[in-house]
Structure 1
Amino acid sequence: MSHPPASVELSTAISAVSRASLATSSVFRSIPSSLTKEDKSPVTLGDFAAQAVVNSVLHAHFSQDKIVAEEEASALKENGELRGKVTALVKEALQRDEAGLTGQKDFKPQWTEKAASDEAVMESIDLGSYSGGSSGRFWTLDPIDGTKGFLRGGQYAVCLALVESGKPTLAVMACPNLPFTKDVPKPQEGDRSGVDGGGSLFVAVKGGGAWQRSLNLSAASASFQPISMRPRDASLTFCESVEAGHSSQGTNAEIAKLLTITAPPVRMDSQAKYASVARGDGDVYLRLPTGKGEYQEKIWDHASGQLLCEEAGGKVTDCSGKDLDFGQGRTLKLNKGVVVAHRDAHEEVLKAVQEALEKEGRGYLARGEPAPAL
């Protein structure tokens, strides 16, 4: 097969995510170098615009489908200046020519100009309020995954997945700052000029494999290419979060010792980590609970990446070895942590994870048990 299995859902998702990445990239390039850590306004603008774009496209083509997304529009109702900026970004993204943007000459957009009005934009954002569940189908969206990376000039992703009966069946992920090939150097953090070649677009279809292409159709290789994780060999490389608060890096270091991993970890923000592991840039991605593990992971933070890695030859479980359950609402409340590795290496990696947690006195996470009462 030379391309992903075709479907109206996939074509729609590609259009939605590609248009949303236009909006986020526009905001990304405009972030001043003098931005303070406390100023989150650019990512707020990008989040709202991307969610409005994706939800507008999805609703125009699948009006009965529910959406689980991160943002809600109440802040826009009280801020006319922000609302105007969001609407302008949405209008620009929705007006782009489909064939020129995505190469999908046979895909016919169903939305109208009214989708880019102030009122329609707010309504579109609030379409993401669905509570989720284990029956039927719904979409889950993270409009900008990796907000700190976005603000720093690092990695971020626009992540969309279709979930059916509690399992992701289709995923589209845009990583505007992740080069399509290893031949193109990653931009230095803080460089707002963008990636030469336009970043990367990833898709996965349940039973249909994992694929990648350039986000920029004018790049030399604009067609989809299959991707796969590296099979287990003598060495492994970790891919982990930049932010220490997102995962227990100290535990990761102990696991690396148990697995005799000597290579330094590859650190990046967002679900770009899933994408990097899926295409073989790294081998293991761990998101381990900090503290007692009270935090519940949001489903939009993992649905796209989970399917992408599994279709690329990987296995994705929690710290106890259970599959991630996306049918429990807006969070992965039945799972603690995330362990991603090639199918041939996953058992070995999971064993090391569980041993490290036991050493720390957090073996209850490895056993899928609640934290002991104080």
Structure 2
Amino acid sequence: MSTYSKELEVAELAVQRAAILTKKVFHEKAKGTVSKDDASPVTIGDFGAQALIIAAIKKNFPEDEVVGEEEASTLRENTKLRDEIWALVKGTKLSDDAAEKVIGGPIESVDDMLTAIDAGNSAGGSKGRIWALDPIDGTKGFLRGGQYAVCLALMVDGDVKVGVLGCPNLPVDDSATLTAESGKDQTDTEGNGVLFSAVLGQGATSRPLTDGAVANSKPIAMKPVKDIKEAIFCESVEAGHSSHGDQAAIASKLGITKPSVRMDSQAKYGSVARGAGDIYLRLPTSKTYQEKIWDHAAGDLIVREAGGQVTDTLGRRLDFGKGRTLAENKGVIAAPAAIHDYVLDVVKEVLSSK
């Protein structure tokens, strides 16, 4: 058994089972919804996916902590919403019995579901085994049929050891280059749905996202950038998440003329890791904003294991041991290792001139 092989197996199967639930929610309940009110599809999907994943973690690693985005107090008060989520959770399972057995089978009661959701209350930190979970990363992408991801990472003493991203709307084909259309109108049709994984020191892989046992994997690697002017540049859709103006200035200084690819979620990390894109920037929109660890932990490891470098805008490695946020970091730069320092220098130049 290789190091963290059991953790990887559990993470991949748990993410696949949660992805089944999120796809069911989208097709049955989204129907063009674009808000996140208390009973919205993304709320239902968030709670349900978090319950399934934490239940799998606790079944296999009962002493591990989880930093999750949701907590169940709303569901204890809103029984209608609770029962709707419970119906989804108890009806969602992997099609392969052996795979389902690994992650513990269905949750047995409403109380078990609520307990699982509330187990995502870890404060994080630099000691022990802590999982970072984002059950639906890319809220608006999920709602509009764009990109979203189910994200799970294991940190040991603050260092990310295992990362898994389930991206139901990305193409399985690793050679499919990102375009301006990649961030929208990309629902889970045939040929879409990919599972990215990495273990520290063991490289990164992709495989088709399935509804049962994990499919065979292929190693992925970042694409060498021979001419930075031809690089494909990824950024967040929402201007509130990352400064589009600064990113445009940086692209201009790098000589990049192609329009940036705007897409939601850690699907950007997976896309860059397999060479479908080249550079991912997430630049601070305020001096006080702190990134959440669940929005970056899995993607950070997958890019680094694929031959990339990930730092903040000051060149510091992302520090996942400071709690539930990246309190010591500002922004994110992910790029192939060979050009990362050059991109970092340009980012510093643009940001310092403001």
Same fold? TM cut 0.5: yes
CA–CA separation in structure 2 for the residues paired with 1:184 and 1:249: 22
Q: 1:129 aligns with which of 121, 127, 130?
A: 121
Q: For residue 225 of structure 2, what is the aligned residue in structure 1?
A: 232
Whether 1:171 and 2:130 are equivalent positions in the alignment is no
Alignment-derived partner of residue 299 in structure 1:
293
- Residue identity opposite 1:8 in structure 2: K
Structure 1 residue 154, shift from structure 2 partner: 0.6
Query: Structure 2 matches for 1:103-182, cutoff 5 A?
Result: 108-109=101-102, 111=104, 113=106, 115-181=107-173, 182=175
Which residue number in structure 2 is paired with residue 366 of structure 1?
none
Whole-angstrom CA distance in 2 between matches of 1:321 and 1:49: 37
Specify the SS of the correspondent of 1:213: strand
Shift in alpha-carbon separation, 1:98–1:252, aligned structure 2, 3 A: farther
User: What is the SS of the residue equivalent to 1:144?
Assistant: strand
Shift of 1:93: 2.2
The structure 1 residue matched to 2:14, chosen from 16, 19, 44, is 16
> What is the one-letter code of the residue matched to 1:75?
T
Q: Gaps (5+ residues) in structure 2? A: none
What residue in structure 2 maps to residue 251 of structure 1?
Answer: 246
Once the two structures are TM-superposed, the CA of residue 152 in structure 1 deviates from its matched residue by: 1.2
Q: 1:32 to 1:210 in 2, by over 3 A?
A: closer
Counterpart of 2:353 in structure 1 is 359
Q: Is the 8 A contact 1:53 1:94 kept in 2?
A: no
CA deviation vs aligned residue, 1:288-314 (integer Å, no higher than 9, x gap): 0013x2100000000000000000000
For the pair 1:269 / 2:264, whether they are aligned, the reply is yes
Residues 152 and 189 of structure 1 are in contact (CA less than 8 Å); yes or no, is this contact kept in structure 2? yes
**Structure 1 residue runs of 4+, over 3 Å off?**
31-34, 36-40, 182-192
8 Å contact 1:31–1:151 — kept in the other structure? no
TM superposition shift of 1:85: 1.7
Is the Cα–Cα contact under 8 Å of residues 16 and 211 in structure 2 kept in the other structure? no
**Aligned mates of 2:124, 2:48 — CA distance in 1:** 22
Deviation sequence 1:256-296 (CA, Å, 0-9, x none): 111111111111100000000001011100000013x2100
Alignment deviations for residues 213-251 of structure 1 (CA, whole Å, 9 cap, x no partner): 111379xx9410000111121131111111111100100
What amino acid is aligned across from residue 282 of structure 1 in structure 2?
G
The offset of 1:94, in angstroms, is 3.8
Deviates more, 1:172-181 or 1:4-13: 4-13
Q: Is the 8 A contact 1:184 1:196 kept in 2?
A: no
The 1:323/1:297 distance shift into structure 2, 3 A limit, reads: same
- Structure 2 SS opposite 1:21: helix
- Letter of the 1:73 counterpart: A
How far has the Cα of 1:80 moved from its partner? Answer: 1.4
Give the Cα–Cα distance (whole angstroms) in 1 for the partners of residues 25 and 225 of structure 2. Answer: 40
Q: Which amino acid aligns with 1:323?
A: R
Q: Report the CA distance shift for 1:282/1:191 in structure 2 as closer, same or farther (over 3 A).
A: closer
- Note the residue ranges of structure 1 that are not aligned, 5 or more in a row: 361-374
- Closer, same or farther: CA 98–174 of 1 in aligned 2, 3 Å: farther
Note closer, same or farther for the CA distance 1:190–1:349 as it changes in structure 2 (3 Å cut). closer
Whichever residue aligns with residue 304 of structure 1, its letter is: A
**Residue 88 of structure 1, CA deviation:** 1.8
For 1:314 and 1:36, how far apart are their aligned partners in 2?
Answer: 34
CA–CA separation in structure 1 for the residues paired with 2:293 and 2:153: 10
**Contact in 2 for aligned 1:179/1:195 (Cα 8 Å):** no
Is 1:50–2:49 an aligned residue pair?
Answer: yes
Q: Provide closer, same or farther for how the CA distance between residues 39 and 189 of structure 1 changes in structure 2, counting only shifts above 3 A.
A: farther
**C-alpha distance 245-36 of structure 1, shift in aligned 2 (>3 A):** closer
Relative to structure 1, is the Cα distance of residues 37 and 124 closer, same or farther in structure 2, using a 3 angstrom cutoff? closer
In the TM superposition, residue 191 of structure 1 has moved relative to its aligned partner by 6.8
In structure 2, relative to structure 1, the CA distance for the partners of 1:177 and 1:151 (3 Å cut) is: same
Q: Give the counterpart of 1:331 among 319, 325, 339.
A: 325
Structure 2 CA distance for aligned equivalents of residues 171 and 215 of structure 1: 15
**Count of matched residue pairs:** 347
Contact 1:177–1:187 (8 Å) recurs in 2: no
Q: In structure 2, what residue type is equivalent to 1:109?
A: V
Distance 2:295 2:47 in 1: 17
